[in-house]
Amino acid sequence: MDTNLAMIIFVSIVGFLAMMGIIHAMSKSKEREQTKREVAAYVAEGSMTPEEGERLLAAGESPRRR
C-alpha cells in the first residue's frame, strides 16, 4: 500500500472520529440546556419547589462539574 494513501486514510479516520466527538458533545450540551429549561418551567408553574429543581439538576451532574 502506498504510504501517502495510508496517511490519507489515517487522517480521514481521525478527522471523522473528532467530528463525531464534537457532535456528541454538542448534543449533550443541548439536552442539558433543555432539561434546565424544563425544570425552570416546572418551578415557575409551582409543580416543583426551587429546592427540588436544584436537587434534580445537581443529581444529573458528574462530580467534577459541581
Question: What pLDDT digit, counting tens, does each position of 11-62 carry?
Answer: 999 999 999 999 999 999 999 999 999 999 999 999 999 999 999 999 877 6
The answer to whether 39 touches 55, Cβ cutoff 8 Å, is no
* Local confidence band at 2 (pLDDT 50, 70, 90 cut-offs): confident
Output the pTM of the full model: 0.68
User: What are the residue ranges spanned by the domains of the chain?
Assistant: 33-66
Crossing angle of helices 50-59 and 3-45, in 10° steps, is 160
* Nearest partner of 43 among 34, 32, 33, 54, judged by Cα: 54
